Structure 1
Amino acid sequence: MTITPLPQLKEIRDLFAGLVGRDCTTERAGALMTPETRGIVAATYVSHRAQVEAVVAVDLSLGAYLGAAIGLMPPGPAKDAVADGSLSDVLLENLSEVLNVTASLFNADDAPHLKLEDVVDSHRGALPGLPVSFLRSTGRRLDATVQIAGYGGGALTVVLR
């Protein structure tokens, strides 16, 4: 069995563009997302042994735009969420669907099958210990920015065990 692959920028771009039906661009970020970054939504992914193997985190901005775009909402509610500093229930639910499908990026041939375990919004409570420790890691990770045509964008981080 091989290790879980770290997704490439093109894979992330293609997945998000396919989900939201809009052109997306991705590039490496100049800064790391850490637990101290304001407005993080973090998703944990587990193996069949119920062990957390990956964390994907998005900042408030990207979370709002992904949530609006996949829900076929106009960009206005996402911009309002960014200005207010928190995601509505609808935007968080839509973003959770995007993060659920994001598990497909990890499921390569002969690698452990990962599935979404949990999505936590740091505006609704403190991030639990595992996402915090993953976001402090400098090991197998990808920090990127994602832009969604007609909406906006923000930061995304993928960290693997």
Structure 2
Amino acid sequence: MSAVTRPTPLPAALEVRELLEGLLGRDVEAVVGTGAVDPHQHPGAVVGAYVDDNLKLRALVVFDLPLAAWAGAAIALVPAATAATCVEDAVITPALFENTAEILNVGASLFNHDGCPHLRLYETYAPRETLPGDIAKWVLAYVQRLDMELTVSGYGTGRASVLVI
């Protein structure tokens, strides 16, 4: 077994897009350089917290509510109209939240590379859920991050932020 020598690299936008395309079975367009997703602003965001084997926080993935609704619907072939209602009402259904949490769980693969700490999804926080202090302080921090807008074909557009801490 090799010793961990490198920090976890920030995934490229192409890797994020390809992961989503593979999971959703749909084309996903990506535009990088958009603003950071702030889960404290209405309508909120789904936050996935990733930890290493020592339970140290190493990465975050933040999907704004629209992206969470679109992706959560697309992965389960739920009609786009259902997700559109969630976006309009600024609330995500429990089923779509669970689907999004599963996407974030598989998203741990974005961070796992040879010679780097093994990361896993530790917790997923729903829109407007109070984030623990050790997570809240990082979501808008100036760290290695990728802020992007993603459009799920046949569904809609939302924003994502990927951070390595």
- What is the DSSP-based 3-state SS (H/G/I as helix, E as strand, rest coil) of the residue aligned with 2:34? coil
Aligned 1:136-147 pairs, distance under 5 A: 136-147=140-151
Aligned 1:15-54 pairs, distance under 5 A: 15-38=19-42, 39-54=44-59
Distance (Å, rounded) in 2 between the aligned partners of 1:51 and 1:91: 28
Q: 2:7 aligns with which of 3, 22, 26?
A: 3
Specify the alignment match of 2:110 in structure 1.
105
Q: Check conservation: 2:39, 2:127, Cα contact below 8 A.
A: no
Specify the alignment match of 1:73 in structure 2.
78
Q: Could you tell me how far 1:35 is from its partner in structure 2?
A: 4.2
Q: Could you tell me how far 1:132 is from its partner in structure 2?
A: 1.3
Gaps of 5+ in 2: none
Q: Check conservation: 1:99, 1:116, Cα contact below 8 A.
A: yes
Specify the alignment match of 1:13 in structure 2.
17
Q: Check conservation: 1:27, 1:145, Cα contact below 8 A.
A: yes
Find runs of 4+ consecutive structure 1 residues off by over 6 angstroms. Answer: none
Structural RMSD (CA): 1.1
Specify the alignment match of 1:84 in structure 2.
89
Specify the alignment match of 2:158 in structure 1.
154
- In percent, how many aligned pairs have the same letter? 38
Q: Check conservation: 1:42, 1:131, Cα contact below 8 A.
A: no
Q: Could you tell me how far 1:27 is from its partner in structure 2?
A: 1.4
- The CA deviation string for residues 53-73 of structure 1, in whole angstroms up to 9 with x for no partner, is 001101000000010000111
Q: Could you tell me the TM-score, scaled by structure 2's length?
A: 0.93
- The CA deviation string for residues 124-157 of structure 1, in whole angstroms up to 9 with x for no partner, is x212212311112112111111111000120100
Q: Could you tell me how far 1:30 is from its partner in structure 2?
A: 2.7
Gaps of 5+ in 1: none
In structure 2, what residue type is equivalent to 1:87?
I
Q: Could you tell me how far 1:96 is from its partner in structure 2?
A: 0.5
